[in-house]
Each structure stands twice: as C-alpha cells, then as structure tokens.
A and B are shown apart, each in its own frame.
Chain A
Amino acid sequence: GAGVSQSPSNKVTEKGKDVELRCDPISGHTALYWYRQRLGQGLEFLIYFQGNSAPDKSGLPSDRFSAERTGESVSTLTIQRTQQEDSAVYLCASSWSGTNSGNTIYFGEGSWLTVV
C-alpha cells in the first residue's frame, strides 16, 4: 500500500480482555517496528522485526504483550488481560533495510487503545 496501515484506529476494551492490533507495512519494507506512546509522553520501543531474523523483543513490558509477523508482511500485536496502564497509542512503523542503512522509518496513524 501507499503507507503504513493500522487497525483498528480506535479501540475501547474492558479491563481483563485481550486485544489484537494489526499493522500492514509498506510493501517491500523488511523492517517493522512497534512503539507505544502514552498520553503526553515519548515513544516507547516495544518490538522490532527485521526480515527473517529473530525479532528484538527487548521492549515488551510484560509477558502479556506479544507480537507476530508473517514473513515480511502483516504484523499483529496482542495484549492479553489488558490493564488500565495499557491505555496508549500503539504506533507501527516500517522501513526498507538494504545494504545501506539510514533508511527512513515510516509511521502509521496509530491505534488508540483505551482500557476501561
């Protein structure tokens, strides 16, 4: 597609429920990133996929968080047993990663999650 697409754009869920957030990266981009942004705060790295390499999961805040990516396409971020502190915007981004680095990372519009 033309840009990074995320769905849903808004999600309100009850505490304790599971949620899935989806990201469609730009076609051909081998790198995919998930970030979390709490209200009025900066970007918190969650997870990074690069081609067929093992993902960098070092930013996942707890074992309630997991993410998958099918090949070099769609990624799903899953939050189990949601808590109120999970309320945030979840931003997905992708970039092309060839032999030259310094490639631009492109962001989606984000999925706004509210846990009530």
Chain B
Amino acid sequence: AQSVTQLGSHVSVSEGALVLLRCNYSSSVPPYLFWYVQYPNQGLQLLLKYTSAATLVKGINGFEAEFKKSETSFHLTKPSAHMSDAAEYFCAVSEADTGNQFYFGTGTSLTVIP
C-alpha cells in the first residue's frame, strides 16, 4: 500500500534561514514523488517532481528535493526562506501499478518570521 507521511504539521523559520520540510513514503514499487504548494485561498500548484531520473530535483522558487531510496524520503529544502514562501506544502506519491492514483500527505504549514 502507498502512503505519505509529513512530519510536522507546522514549521516556522526566520527569513533567510534554511527551509526543511520532511516527507517519507511507503511504496512497494519505485514511486513517483511530488511536492505541491498551496498559497492562501488558492488551489495547489506543482513545485517539483521525481520520476526516476536524477535523485536531486530542482523546482520553482528555489526549492529542491532529494529522493533517498534507502531512507524512503523526499524532503523539501530551500537555502534561504522568503516571506513569500509562507504557504501549505503537500507531498504526494503515485505509482505506475495504481493507475496513476495520487496519495497526498496531510500537509505542512510554513510560517516565515521576519
């Protein structure tokens, strides 16, 4: 069975500090992994995705994530937080043998402190 766990429902960082949002998955086959961002009162938009190419994936707005099979993790990072990064972040997994079904984590709310 597939599942996604996001550790920490709320994360606060100071402006300019490192952002680290954690995501662990369980999957019986190589997964496809995604990070989505949801700004207040908006829909979700794709930040980045891993589809079995390079394990370090770069996305929009300076975010990146690294797929670590041994740790079943896909943590999202950004070297320097911006006020505009304040949002809800969702990790998701899909697999070829589930017909492209998506499973989302419960989300992490990021607060950036000036």
CB neighbors of A among B21-45 (8 A): 32, 34, 36, 42-45
Residues of B within 8 A of A48 (CB): 101
Chain A: residues with Cβ within 8 Å of the partner, total of 26
Residues of B within 8 A of A53 (CB): 99
Is the beta-carbon distance between B49 and A104 smaller than 8 angstroms? yes
Residues of A within 8 A of B43 (CB): 4, 91, 107-110
Residues of B within 8 A of A106 (CB): 46
Residues of A within 8 A of B36 (CB): 107
Tell me the complex Cα distance, A42–B6, Å.
Answer: 11
**B77 is an interface residue with CB less than 8 A from chain A:** no
Chain B: residues with Cβ within 8 Å of the partner, total of 25
**A62 is an interface residue with CB less than 8 A from chain B:** no
- Smallest CB gap from B46: residue in A: A104
Q: Mark B67-110, 1 if CB is under 8 A from A, else 0.
A: 00000000000000000000000101011100111111111000
Q: Mark A19-59, 1 if CB is under 8 A from B, else 0.
A: 00000000000010101000001110100101001001000
Known: A42-B104, A43-B107, A50-B99. Is A102-B94 also a contact (CB below 8 A)? yes
Is the beta-carbon distance between A101 and B32 smaller than 8 angstroms? yes
Residues of B within 8 A of A31 (CB): 99-100
Residues of A within 8 A of B90 (CB): 42-43
Q: Mark B40-65, 1 if CB is under 8 A from A, else 0.
A: 00111110010110000000000000
Is the beta-carbon distance between A50 and B104 smaller than 8 angstroms? no
Is the beta-carbon distance between A101 and B100 smaller than 8 angstroms? yes
Tell me the complex Cα distance, A67–B10, Å.
Answer: 33
Specify which of B44, B92, B94, B103 is in contact with A91 (CB 8 Å cutoff): B44
**A114 is an interface residue with CB less than 8 A from chain B:** no
Residues of A within 8 A of B92 (CB): 105
Is the beta-carbon distance between A33 and B105 smaller than 8 angstroms? no
**A103 is an interface residue with CB less than 8 A from chain B:** yes
**Chain B residues within CB distance 8 Å of chain A:** 32, 34, 36, 42-46, 49, 51-52, 90, 92, 94-96, 99-107
